[in-house]
Structure 1
């Protein structure tokens, strides 16, 4: 019965009916040419056949789930596939709209802590013949980057391959290798010494950062204006998703001498500005975004054999100004790019442990959100979370079915009623918006505003 690290258990401790703590993904697949009318059913049956489930997807909180279940993992020997893998169909007329409505409902329901913390829904009935797969996994098991990596490793670049396995049958390259080999006391001592060194370095690092903030006055601090995005949330969710060609965003980045991430943040800025103007709710001060940084993508977070760490949570964060007080897209992009550079400059010389510590300080106010009245009467540390998870750079297939959409579905919290997550996929960027159904009315309008914002940037930097 393995110990649960605090970085993982906090997602179980923070969970409630209003705050489901799972991450998800909605994938769209174009069936192979030889697929018959029962293709979706055959996919479900194939998903349910194997008993060789990875250790990660056998985990569940230990009994009793509300006590030991936030400290230790238990493991199920057998998996109830009829529960975990479900076959669904969307109603007529089978538009993406109906699919997103189903996804919204599924993502708003809690996972059963008496079972391994994951579900998969295979969905047929789309009018264009595609098959959808929605999967959700508790954040205590994986972060967004780890989830995307597991999904990628279940796919193949070869359209003729027929040996692909679903993510729960893929053994993650992770710390579980060390667990299988037994406890390494000397490794613990070495790791402890490294941590002590990192923590000791936090004091001079913190003083250096403070001096830079005072001297330059150009660091975006975790203190944002109040907005309708930053109130208490209910348990119901609304999900919206759309794809954009990546070359459009890259061309703006090249012309403006900024980065792809900067342009995406400028799209978000323009979309939020227009949306809030429609609601007569745009703050006078510039809004800000918390942008997670995956430490799993850093060289020092990869093992000597080149393997990543698989499950768990390895995420830092920076806060970036969205310049929503600026009317012109080009000006917003310039200010966003500068703010991001300054935030990354601070992080540049830090170790992963120090980045985690600094990120924890920036996100610390979120821990007080459950306190009655805290969200209503205090300013948020940031207005919205915008995550970018790298995806596959080539066409990918699952047993001949081509991946045609990969939309992340993340988490909303009290004080953070909207979460925007995107992932790249060869020639496209797929963006998923998840929001509190009560706090964010007409969430789907943000999709059109994102497009309008990109068009404005293209016209400015064409």
Structure 2
């Protein structure tokens, strides 16, 4: 059975093809205690783990005239040496040096004639540390499955059940395939879908309400994309080069803010980003208006039954960040209210429904639509901000403790700044990607995110 890319997975390839300045790879950068492993030690470790990672030895093959979605096929000339890289930072090996390297590595496109991933060992970090940069094309994984992909490179945890990542059509040997099909027929998502179908037959009113809810969500997404925001320097043409930097926060502090103001973690991080973007716009001599910054917020629609499938399972919301508000607590309240409105407005459900519908629609019209849309400059979305939960327990690689994990999100479609938020144990990292020429001040943005987070934490503690 051919292992086709889903329409959403293939869409990332189409989007990359539409702009020669875009590289649509995501990454996780793990900072580890030293000393770094030898070249042979690391190669052997990765080779042992490749069997648990879908598509690690496969490349993408397109079909003539887009008659079907691209297919994963085995790379008969697979050579691990093409995918493992090693480099070192110049002294003193600080955050700035690492950020410069990440920007350069991630600006380069992955080779489509080979499996689309790379793994870099980076030596020479200060305090005797080293790093691993795991780079993978967005067509292979979203943020959630990308985090699971990184965990597959870590040492097995004796206190956890090892879960093998699977392909979309991976049934293993015959007995395992039969067992999985029986399990899926009797439990999990199949039962959920059957119950939903029966409830729909028994309650036409509920079915109608669900359809109207999705239609409302479609209208919200379309309106967000097609309604221009107030012009700012956040949106415009981008070049090939990238900048990268990091902001950091404590998950314990964020939860204190959640408790004090009865909000969600995502509300808090978006509020800190809102305050920082407001300050950045003012510093650039621009007026932060209430319609200045619409944000693409990916929403995971990954169910428990496909938690270990390596692909993209996301929808989206398009909230406008309240950058016109100066007070951080009022910003937080506004973010919370707007996010709640978008969640109840059916945008996530509409995106999920559209993706499911595309699975059963001929691929060619979908590909042509993506290509056509990418040719026109968009003026409705200004930045992307994606929040990904990472490992809750400390992990190790070859016996070395992972100190922190930094995320990377690509930018495209005239978005000059992208922000990925990743939690790891009790730390939260904001990985900020910027276009090299039009976003030279993302280091300032990172400091402002940390400052606004501190303001919210202080407000929370003063009320406790």
- Name the TM-score class by shorter chain: 0.7 to 0.9
Aligned residues: 427
Secondary structure of the equivalent of 2:448? helix
> Residues 332-353 of structure 1: CA distance to partner in whole angstroms, max 9, x if unpaired?
1101001111111234995884
Distance 1:409 1:148 in 2: 11
Tell whether 2:32 aligns with 1:29. yes
Question: 1:9–1:81: structure 2 CA closer, same or farther, 3 Å change rule?
Answer: same
Tell me which of 277, 282, 288 is aligned to 2:294.
Answer: 288
TM-score (structure 1 length as normaliser):
0.80
Cα deviation for residue 179 of structure 1 reads 7.2
Distance 2:115 2:70 in 1: 15
CA RMSD of aligned residues (A): 3.9
Instruction: Note if contact 2:249-2:453 (Cα within 8 Å) is conserved in structure 1.
Output: no
> Residues 104-141 of structure 1: CA distance to partner in whole angstroms, max 9, x if unpaired?
00100011111111111101011211111111111111
Cα deviation for residue 357 of structure 1 reads 7.0
Counterparts of 1:200-211 in structure 2 under 5 Å? Answer: 205=210, 207-208=212-213
Tell whether 2:150 aligns with 1:151. yes
Distance 2:62 2:347 in 1: 42
Instruction: Note if contact 2:322-2:334 (Cα within 8 Å) is conserved in structure 1.
Output: yes
The residue aligned with 2:415 is 416
Distance 2:373 2:76 in 1: 38
Tell whether 2:230 aligns with 1:225. yes
Question: Which ranges in structure 1 are unaligned for 5 or more consecutive residues?
Answer: none
Tell whether 2:67 aligns with 1:86. no
Distance 2:40 2:64 in 1: 35
Cα deviation for residue 174 of structure 1 reads 4.2
> Residues 420-450 of structure 1: CA distance to partner in whole angstroms, max 9, x if unpaired?
1111111101110111112212211111100
Distance 2:311 2:217 in 1: 33
- Decide which moves more: 106-115 or 172-181: 172-181
The residue aligned with 1:14 is 15
More helix, by proportion? 2
Question: 1:70–1:401: structure 2 CA closer, same or farther, 3 Å change rule?
Answer: same
Secondary structure of the equivalent of 1:13? helix
The residue aligned with 1:279 is 284
Instruction: Note if contact 1:369-1:414 (Cα within 8 Å) is conserved in structure 2.
Output: no
Question: 1:366–1:289: structure 2 CA closer, same or farther, 3 Å change rule?
Answer: farther
Tell whether 2:294 aligns with 1:315. no
Cα deviation for residue 7 of structure 1 reads 1.6
The residue aligned with 1:177 is 170
Distance 2:56 2:352 in 1: 27
Question: 1:157–1:108: structure 2 CA closer, same or farther, 3 Å change rule?
Answer: same
Question: Which ranges in structure 2 are unaligned for 5 or more consecutive residues?
Answer: 360-367
Tell whether 2:333 aligns with 1:327. no
Distance 1:365 1:331 in 2: 40
Cα deviation for residue 243 of structure 1 reads 2.5
- Decide which moves more: 430-439 or 72-81: 72-81
Tell me which of 260, 266, 269 is aligned to 1:255.
Answer: 260
Counterparts of 1:187-202 in structure 2 under 5 Å? Answer: none
Instruction: Note if contact 2:27-2:135 (Cα within 8 Å) is conserved in structure 1.
Output: yes
Instruction: Note if contact 1:318-1:359 (Cα within 8 Å) is conserved in structure 2.
Output: no
Secondary structure of the equivalent of 2:442? coil
Instruction: Note if contact 1:62-1:73 (Cα within 8 Å) is conserved in structure 2.
Output: yes
Instruction: Note if contact 2:315-2:352 (Cα within 8 Å) is conserved in structure 1.
Output: no
